[in-house]
Chain A
């Protein structure tokens, strides 16, 4: 077994252990809840129902985590092709959610079709061919020029700038940012050959665990809300506790990365900070559109964007830091 595979296995076993513990706790809570209900001790019916839905949601989330870890593991086994296909599909699902919430109209049909069937595949194709010079500007320069042209050719001016900007932002977040995750495979780091998937695993694990820990810290001691209008559950205590504890976990994962423990802590800190901001920004968009979730595809989590928001914002920054700090090509 190669070095990379055995390290990946160790990481997956670690993640599986955490999920097994979470599953046991979730099932235990559900069992205890049912027992309480049967004896009729729940004094206040409304709060009992609220508790059931919290526990149900928790268990739905844990199940969805299992599915995501299995899917991610399979993609890693598939190597570069597996990872590109997986994130290509995530981009597709996220873009579908994003565009659904925009105010695009009939006259945007060509522009939207181009976003889905030209821009998205071309971006992932460029990642496959490892053409950094083009994939790093393809969407922010060329797609940004192409889409308004297509929209203008249809001749409608109503809400033109808003419509164009919404489509551009959808591509930026759902395709450009997401594609920087598989792009990590294209980096050429001395002494780290063939271990690119570990960088992806590192980024995803650190950022996602930060989300979970922010939630946990927030529940335990959250008092001061950061932006009540955006997200009632995000607190200063949750954010600080989550980011710092995820930074610690990131430092402890240094052995799967090309970083030293201290560098690893710094990278984890920047990534989780970006991840936190990503969650905030995408909440703002949701509130603006008047919805609670981006979609309904992942039980307990809402849509793809709801789960990926933090990774989307962290990915390009993490990618460039690694590229400028460790890549030699």
Chain B
């Protein structure tokens, strides 16, 4: 990457962080885990394109530098601007969601990033949740990731309110206060099946959502 492109990426990253803070006044709630500099997989609910930006924004800078979002290659490679933001600014691990076009295994890509010492942000629902249900059923990637690297902490993250800031189909964001809550880490129990583990992971995220709204005083 050229020095100019690097400088541009640094500038863009900070502009995005400031914009995110201005619109959402986002704040972190550490409910069961602390912001520690250890390798982690943050798994979060997915309602909006801005989800990983908010999660990234509330991480302390030292952690942020080593945390990469896992995102869909089909979306982030579609134009040169998206490629710049996806690859240069956020250092995303880009995975091919369409099985037919796949030439590399997504789990292998994520494991490779972990082996490089990076932390990951994953959205196990696989796509944005625009419906009424709180969570869509999880895809199996999280389980395979947990089985492959059992020593990496899995931290559930609930992103609250961002779907009200920019509902699907709208262009202008409405400034509302958002929060990002980090729950207690999850571990793969020996002998646990894929479905059992995924159910538990979903449960931990929903429990976090409930605890978060309790802390906040039960807002709708």
In the complex with contacts A106-B167, A109-B170, A96-B220 CB distance below 8 A:
no
| Chain A residue, CB-CB nearest to B214 | A290
Please tell me which one of the listed residues A96, A103, A104, A116 contacts residue B25 in the complex, with CB atoms under 8 A apart: A96
Q: Are B176 and A289 in contact (CB under 8 A)?
A: no
Contact flags B1-41 to A (C-beta < 8 A → 1, else 0): 00000000000000000000000010100000000000000
Q: Are A109 and B219 in contact (CB under 8 A)?
A: no
Within the complex, the shortest CB–CB distance from B158 to chain A, in Å, comes to: 16
Please tell me which one of the listed residues B27, B167, B219 contacts residue A296 in the complex, with CB atoms under 8 A apart: B27
| Chain A residue, CB-CB nearest to B29 | A296
Q: Are A101 and B25 in contact (CB under 8 A)?
A: no
Give chain B residues whose Cβ lies under 8 Å from the Cβ of A220.
none
Q: Are A291 and B167 in contact (CB under 8 A)?
A: no
Please tell me which one of the listed residues A96, A103, A104 contacts residue B177 in the complex, with CB atoms under 8 A apart: A96
Give chain A residues whose Cβ lies under 8 Å from the Cβ of B147.
none
Contact flags B206-220 to A (C-beta < 8 A → 1, else 0): 000000000011111
Give CA–CA (A251, B216) in the complex, Å.
41
Give CA–CA (A100, B219) in the complex, Å.
9
Question: CB of B172 within 8 A of chain A?
Answer: yes
Q: Are A109 and B217 in contact (CB under 8 A)?
A: no
Within the complex, the shortest CB–CB distance from A196 to chain B, in Å, comes to: 29
Question: CB of A113 within 8 A of chain B?
Answer: yes
Question: CB of B161 within 8 A of chain A?
Answer: yes
In the complex with contacts A113-B172, A295-B25, A297-B25, A100-B218 CB distance below 8 A:
no
Q: Are A109 and B25 in contact (CB under 8 A)?
A: no
Q: Are A295 and B174 in contact (CB under 8 A)?
A: no
In the complex with contacts A106-B167, A295-B25, A290-B218 CB distance below 8 A:
yes
Question: Which residue among B27, B174, B177, B217 has the maximum number of chain A CB atoms within 10 Å of its CB?
Answer: B174
Give chain A residues whose Cβ lies under 8 Å from the Cβ of B170.
109
Question: CB of B175 within 8 A of chain A?
Answer: yes
In the complex with contacts A96-B25, A296-B27, A297-B25, A103-B174 CB distance below 8 A:
no
Contact flags B155-169 to A (C-beta < 8 A → 1, else 0): 000000100100100
Q: How many chain A residues touch B (Cβ–Cβ < 8 Å)?
A: 23
Q: Are B172 and A117 in contact (CB under 8 A)?
A: yes
Q: Are B219 and A291 in contact (CB under 8 A)?
A: yes
Question: CB of A97 within 8 A of chain B?
Answer: yes
Give chain B residues whose Cβ lies under 8 Å from the Cβ of A290.
217-219
Within the complex, the shortest CB–CB distance from B172 to chain A, in Å, comes to: 5
Within the complex, the shortest CB–CB distance from B49 to chain A, in Å, comes to: 16
Within A273-329, the residues touching B (CB, 8 Å) are 289-292, 295-297
Give chain A residues whose Cβ lies under 8 Å from the Cβ of B175.
92, 95-96, 99, 116
Within A104-158, the residues touching B (CB, 8 Å) are 104, 106, 109, 112-113, 116-117
Say what secondary structure dominates the interface of chain A: helix
Give CA–CA (A203, B131) in the complex, Å.
48
Within A77-111, the residues touching B (CB, 8 Å) are 92-93, 95-97, 99-101, 103-104, 106, 109
Question: Which residue among A92, A97, A109 has the maximum number of chain B CB atoms within 10 Å of its CB?
Answer: A109
Please tell me which one of the listed residues A93, A97, A116, A296 contacts residue B174 in the complex, with CB atoms under 8 A apart: A116
Give CA–CA (A164, B176) in the complex, Å.
17
Give chain B residues whose Cβ lies under 8 Å from the Cβ of A296.
25, 27, 177
| Chain A residue, CB-CB nearest to B172 | A113
Q: Are B220 and A291 in contact (CB under 8 A)?
A: no
Q: Are A291 and B174 in contact (CB under 8 A)?
A: no
Q: Are B217 and A113 in contact (CB under 8 A)?
A: no
Within the complex, the shortest CB–CB distance from A147 to chain B, in Å, comes to: 13
Give CA–CA (A296, B174) in the complex, Å.
19
Please tell me which one of the listed residues B27, B172, B177 contacts residue A97 in the complex, with CB atoms under 8 A apart: B177
Within the complex, the shortest CB–CB distance from A57 to chain B, in Å, comes to: 18
Please tell me which one of the listed residues B27, B176, B216, B218 contacts residue A99 in the complex, with CB atoms under 8 A apart: B176
Give CA–CA (A97, B175) in the complex, Å.
9
Give CA–CA (A143, B161) in the complex, Å.
25
Please tell me which one of the listed residues B27, B167, B176 contacts residue A96 in the complex, with CB atoms under 8 A apart: B176
Within B186-219, the residues touching A (CB, 8 Å) are 216-219
Within the complex, the shortest CB–CB distance from A258 to chain B, in Å, comes to: 38
Within the complex, the shortest CB–CB distance from A113 to chain B, in Å, comes to: 5
Give CA–CA (A29, B219) in the complex, Å.
36
Give CA–CA (A103, B161) in the complex, Å.
12
| Chain B residue, CB-CB nearest to A296 | B27
6 additional A-B residue pairs with CB within 8 Å, beyond A109-B170, A297-B25: A95-B175, A100-B176, A106-B167, A116-B175, A289-B217, A290-B219
Chain A contact residues, CB within 8 Å of chain B: 92-93, 95-97, 99-101, 103-104, 106, 109, 112-113, 116-117, 289-292, 295-297
What are 22 A-B pairs with beta-carbon distances under 8 A?
A95-B175, A96-B25, A96-B176, A96-B177, A97-B177, A99-B175, A100-B161, A101-B219, A104-B164, A106-B167, A109-B172, A112-B174, A113-B172, A116-B174, A289-B217, A291-B216, A291-B219, A292-B217, A295-B177, A296-B25, A296-B27, A296-B177
Among all A-B residue pairs, the 7 with the closest Cβ atoms: A291-B217, A100-B177, A290-B217, A112-B174, A290-B218, A96-B175, A106-B167
